[in-house]
Structure formats: C-alpha cells, structure tokens
Structure 1
Amino acid sequence: MKVKAMIKENNALREQMTPFNRSYFEDMILAMRASQVDPVRAEELLLEAAALLLQGQGKGKNAKQIFGEHPEDYFKDIMGSVPARPERSKLNYYLMIAWTALTLFFGVMAIAGLFMEWSGGSADMFGKVSVFTLIVVGLGSIVLMELLVRWMSSLSENDAPKAKTFDIKALGIYVLVAVVVIFAGIFLDNLFPVITISPWVSLIIGLAGGLGLKFIFFKS
C-alpha cells in the first residue's frame, strides 16, 4: 500500500475515535512523522497503533490507558530500531535548491509576462533572460541557503533562543562580497548570451520544473 493510501485509511480510522483519543493519536502522528523513520514504515506503524487504539476504545479504554501518559513514548523503541530514511546527498541537496530557485524564477517570469500581455502592456522585459542571470539564480540560491542554515545553527540551544554576539567583521565580508558580485554581474552580464523566451515557454518550464521537484526529489 502506498503512503497516500495509508494516510487516507489513517484519516478514516481517526474519524471513529472519541475526541480525546483522536487528539492523543494526532500527537502520536506528529511525533512519528517528525522522526527519521522511513515514511512507508511510519504509516504502517501508525495504522497498527490506530487499530490497537480502536480495539481498546471498544473495551472502554482511553488512549493513555493503552499507550501511556505521553503519545511519543509508544514509538520510542520503534524509532530507534527501524531503518532511518536515507539522508539526501550533498550534491542532490544543492541540485534541489538550484532547481527550485530556477523553477520559481521562470514561474515569476511567466506570470509577470502574461499579466503584462493581458493588460495591454509590453512583456519584452520578461521575455529576455541572460545565461549569466540563470547561473546567478542557481548558484546564488545555494549560497543563500547555506548562509541561512549557518545562521540558524548559530542560534543558542536554550529554551529562549538568541543569536550570538553581533559580528561586524562577518557582516563587512558579506557586504563586500555582495558588492563585488553586483559589479561583476554588470560586467559579465554583457559577456553571456541573452535568450529570448516567451512567457508561455517560461510557464511550461516552470510547470515542468515543479513536476521535476515532485517526481525526482520528493518521490515517495
């Protein structure tokens, strides 16, 4: 059974639960789906737990009496014993980021260009793309994501997270790099070919990119 089919069946089972048991079971779902357990195995375990809960409910028991005080406790040992989902390789991760950025880029170009055409304006500015721009969008999205991840990891692990001491030197380096990239872009943009592309073609590329994300990077 596929993941989507199991989720649908799980939802049907939840409808048969009392409000208290449903709330408890939904916390179990959140704990399991947030874990590193393989998605297929996770849904199988949740279906087993739902059946067990309904069986106990039929005997007058509630979720706490069946699974314990805390919803996540029932799966603790299971989470540690079942195979974890494979980690995405670094290359695959970077490719996914660049793919997503370019998909969004062509999507925006398509929407803006079609809007200009339908409103009677000129879509010329949305019909020409420099190869250098595509490179910057792809590579820039990777750099931006890395900076964001590093900033997030720099936050304190206390209950009330706060950023580390402000680093003026690091800020200066980032600003300098940004300025260099901007001026290099102005110069290099003229050295790379410019592609003429209609908004409809941009729309097709954007849709194809979205399908690629679903079936290549996020397949079940």
Structure 2
Amino acid sequence: MRPGVHVRPASSTDIEDLVDLCLQARNESGLGRQLCSDDRERLSAHLSVLGSVQDGVVLVATCDGEPAGMALCRLLGPGLLSDATVLSLDAVYVRPQSRRRGLGHAMLQAAAEVAEAAGATDVYAAPLPGSRGMQRFLARLGFAPAAAHRVVSTPALQRRLAQDVPVTARRPASRGLEDLIERRRRARARAAGDDERARQAGASMSMQVRRAVQSRRPSSSSTTTS
C-alpha cells in the first residue's frame, strides 16, 4: 500500500462521505437508478443498514486523510442451492482525482482478507457496464467472466409478456375451444342419428301392425256353403 493510502471498515461518521461517493459514481456512470438512488436520505439509510448487518461489509479508502474510495460487499451463502460462502463485491469506486495511487488495489486486498476470514470460496464482482478501466483492473487481478446481467423495468417487462405470449401458452385455450366445438358436433350427430333410428323403428312397427291386422281379416272373395 502506498504512503498516505489507508483502507478501513466504514463507521457511522463516514456515511455522508460515502453518500457523496455514491452520487459521484452515479453521475459518472450515467446508469442512473440502475446504480443507486439519487436521494441522499435513502442512500444514507441503505449504507447504514449494509454496514450494520452481519453479512454486510462497507470499506472506505482514504488518501492523505480524505475519503477517496469505497467498496460495498456482502457475504452470501451457504444457501438452499449451494453449500459455499462467497463474497459479492457490489461496488468499487475511487474518485477520479485519487486514481492511480493504489486505492483500488488496497480495497481489494481488504476484501480478500474479509473473504478469507469468512471462509468464502470465491469473490464475485459486478463492474458497471462500460467501465473499461474497472474491467481491466479486475481482469488483471484474476477475475474471470462468470455471468452476464441484464435489466428491464417492471412495466416494460409486463408489456412484453402481454405482447409476446409463447405459442405453447396459446395452444391450450385454442385447443380447448376446438375440443368443445367437436364435442358439440358429435353430440348433435348422435342426437340426429337417434331421431332417425327412432323414426325408422316407429315406421317398421307400424308396418308390422298393419300386416298382422290384414292377415287376420276375412277374405272378401271367399263364400260359405251349408
């Protein structure tokens, strides 16, 4: 670590300086709300909570006694899907005027020591999109690609879900309607067939009755003798 550069856990007296660093990182990145809130009170509350919970780690780096950088971390796991504990490095930021003085390296050294003490098997980092300097810095320290994050606003996702209904999701409703129509068609056919068979049965019965009556009737051409 270079002379004049120090890294330590943040205390309650550092919160306002950390809020300033967060807002400066937000303005520099251009990501807006995807990075953090622009509300100072909300940021102050979030940082206070992160620094007070058991698995939260907030590191502040000072250069010549002035706060110049921060690292926000969380210890994750073990959980339902993994027995391992990992350190998630959610944010690393150094003021532009304090860069190239070893602050980033010093904060990563402190984060590695936190990970080792907690038994964390890996350290994950989520550098900001477009932050080429941070990407190169992490790659130089051995960080390899692990996953790609994508983001969408909730209203936009809901609109797309409503518009882009998968074919497999549409089939049950249409198939059910077709089945209903087919069942009704078969029912009508059976009903029509039953009526025809009943009519034919009735006609056959009437014919049999007429024949029986005719066979019992005396012939008009026969004569009787005494």
What TM bracket, shorter-length normalisation? Answer: under 0.3
TM-score w.r.t. the length of structure 2 is: 0.20
TM-score w.r.t. the length of structure 1 is: 0.20
Structure number with the bigger relative contact order (C-alpha 8 A, sep ≥ 6) is 1
